[in-house]
């Protein structure tokens, strides 16, 4: 009985920490529900395209940059300005721990991404978006997904 309980607990912990890679349509639904479609004029396709080129929809993606900062999560949000990690605590504009941007629950990452778009006036923050998504026909990105 005890052993079964412990096993169940371990199972839960593994489920929480295992990398989560979303499918395109699952992400489309989450983004749509979170109000990203047409947020500040950026259609849903922009967000799905951006997340693909930034993280390949991998919520646990982390990239350490040359300046010592790190990009976190599905939107590769940087620790220097936007979130708080052990090293750099100076700005943290999103008032969030960087580790909270790596979870399956995308709430914090979406709130922070909205803040970036608002404060930097657009999606230019994301190099992947600039290079691959900006100015393109992005309707394909939500094609076949049950979103309006
Ligand atoms: C997701 O990112 C993590 C951390 O970088 C990596 O270990 C994992 O292999 C990635 N998963 C996939 C399916 O690419």
Structure tokens, 53: 């080129």
In 25-60, which positions are buried (b, 16+ CB within 10 angstroms) versus exposed (e)? bebbbbbbebebbebeebbbbbbbbbbbbbbebbbb
Ligand 1 binding pocket, CB closer than 6 Å = 19, 21, 58, 60-62
Q: What is the pLDDT of residue 17?
A: 52
Tell me the per-residue pLDDT of 87-99, one tens digit each, with 9 for 90 and over.
656 789 999 999 9
Residue 86 pLDDT class (50, 70, 90 cuts): confident
In the structure encoding, which two tokens stand for residue 78, read together? 């940087």
Half-sphere exposure of 97 (CA within 13 A, CB side): 5
Domains of the chain: 20-141 (1.10.530.10)
Distance from the alpha carbon of residue 29 to the mean position of ligand 1, in angstroms: 22
24 CA distance to ligand 1 middle (Å): 16
Q: What is the reported pLDDT for 133? A: 98
* pLDDT tens-place string over residues 10-52: 444 444 556 699 999 999 999 999 999 999 999 999 999 999 9
């Amino acid at each position: 009985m005890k052993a079964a309980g412990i096993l169940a607990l371990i199972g839960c912990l593994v489920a929480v920490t295992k990398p989560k890679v979303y499918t395109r349509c699952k992400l489309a639904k989450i983004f749509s529900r979170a109000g990203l479609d047409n947020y500040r004029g950026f259609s849903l396709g922009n967000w799905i395209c951006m997340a693909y080129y930034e993280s390949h929809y991998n919520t646990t993606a982390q990239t350490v940059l040359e300046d010592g900062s790190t990009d976190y999560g599905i939107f590769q949000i940087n620790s220097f300005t936007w979130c708080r990690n052990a090293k750099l605590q100076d700005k943290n504009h999103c008032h969030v721990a960087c580790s909270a941007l790596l979870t399956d629950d995308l709430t914090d990452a979406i709130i922070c991404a909205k803040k970036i778009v608002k404060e930097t006036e657009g999606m230019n923050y994301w190099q992947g978006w600039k290079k691959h998504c900006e100015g393109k026909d992005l309707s394909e990105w939500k094609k076949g997904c049950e979103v309006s």
